[in-house]
Structure 1
């Protein structure tokens, strides 16, 4: 398993160039400098053509900004549990691609709440990334921002997730696995009872070819 998202440049030269361009992106430098965190851009890029599963997330958090790897936080632990995969599988670039709606940590506002993913990131990069990845057997949409971009969803997250059968087995819409959604999970027991077993079975089916 190669830990570099670009992998072998000779195998995917266009993808290697795209990864390098995203890593070098500084479009939001002034925006981030003006946040409460006053941080510099650090795009977290984790995809490679040939992956079987696309995790379409929201944006890196502070811990991911520090680690440079996606979902290296409690949200990632919960997401891997939802998918039924271990860390080695999740971080295998030949199997799983992680493409958030913004590649950089957006920072916090004055109340230390997460800022939304800057839309300029999606406008600049997502069409190119999706073209590089091609047709994915399974796409997992994590959170409302991903629902809106990939499904055109306009209703609340609960409504979109509750309609999961409309898009399965190729696409599954999930809530964000943040601890903030623990109460949501208690109020919606059908998510763990009905959706997750189907999702886990589909993950294994796709990973096993």
Structure 2
């Protein structure tokens, strides 16, 4: 695992496409119990090198009902985005994650994490990549059908403050999905004697 992480952090495969240059941001360990697969680091995370070190990360930790210390403990959570580097600015928000990362690195990483009990897929890029034909026609439908992907996966919208409108429009998410997510995370972390 150590060598693999070292190689990923030195990766420059998409260098010519990255306006700020490569800075792969991820966290993982052979002991990780839960993998969080999101989109790609934002500009703040690119600068700090700390995954989910932004308002979206604060919201995600609330959804998971975990402390910062728990979240950043690699023996508990692996953080493996679809694109490891900040992809740059688009017309409306950040560009999509670079398509090279996941096929190049994900399987290698997952094969070295034998203790994983849950993979959290955040946003359409992760959901479409991992669920393939099982993903529904859009993110709302996929998240609404979250129970179909359990126990291996749980699907979430992006916790960005920009998604306030989606959360307001879909109150079932907080009522139905979040309690299941919190219970699952709590049970995995407790059963492994990690808390």
Q: Relative to 1, partners in 2 of residues 1:201 and 1:66: Cα closer, same or farther, differing over 3 Å?
A: same
Q: Calculate the TM-score normalised by the size of structure 1.
A: 0.87
Q: Quick check: 1:57–1:101 contact (8 Å CA) kept in 2?
A: yes
Q: Deviations over 1:3-53 (max 9, x none)?
A: xxxxxxxxxxxx111000000001111111xxxxx3110001211111111
Structure 1 residue aligned with 2:146: 164
Q: Quick check: 2:31–2:115 contact (8 Å CA) kept in 1?
A: no
Structure 1 residue aligned with 2:112: 132
Separation in 1, partners of 2:29, 2:86: 21
Q: Quick check: 1:169–1:202 contact (8 Å CA) kept in 2?
A: no
- Unaligned segments of structure 1, at least 5 residues: 1-14, 33-37
Structure 1 residue aligned with 2:33: 52
Separation in 2, partners of 1:169, 1:16: 28
Separation in 1, partners of 2:5, 2:187: 28
Equivalences, count? 189
Separation in 1, partners of 2:8, 2:37: 16
Separation in 1, partners of 2:80, 2:93: 22
Matched, 1:206 2:188: yes
Per mean C-alpha deviation after superposition, the further-off stretch among 87-96 and 135-144 is 135-144
Matched, 1:114 2:97: no
Q: Pick the aligned partner of 1:182 from 144, 164, 167.
A: 164
Separation in 2, partners of 1:79, 1:25: 27
Structure 2 residue aligned with 1:70: 51
Separation in 1, partners of 2:100, 2:20: 18
Per mean C-alpha deviation after superposition, the further-off stretch among 150-159 and 67-76 is 150-159
Q: Quick check: 2:36–2:121 contact (8 Å CA) kept in 1?
A: yes
C-alpha RMSD of matched pairs (Å): 1.2
Deviation (angstroms), 1:164: 0.6
Structure 2 residue aligned with 1:35: none
Q: Relative to 1, partners in 2 of residues 1:161 and 1:154: Cα closer, same or farther, differing over 3 Å?
A: closer
Q: Calculate the TM-score normalised by the size of structure 2.
A: 0.93
Separation in 2, partners of 1:94, 1:126: 18
Structure 2 residue aligned with 1:173: 155
Q: Give 3-state SS (helix, strand or coil) of 1:141's partner.
A: strand
Separation in 2, partners of 1:125, 1:139: 16
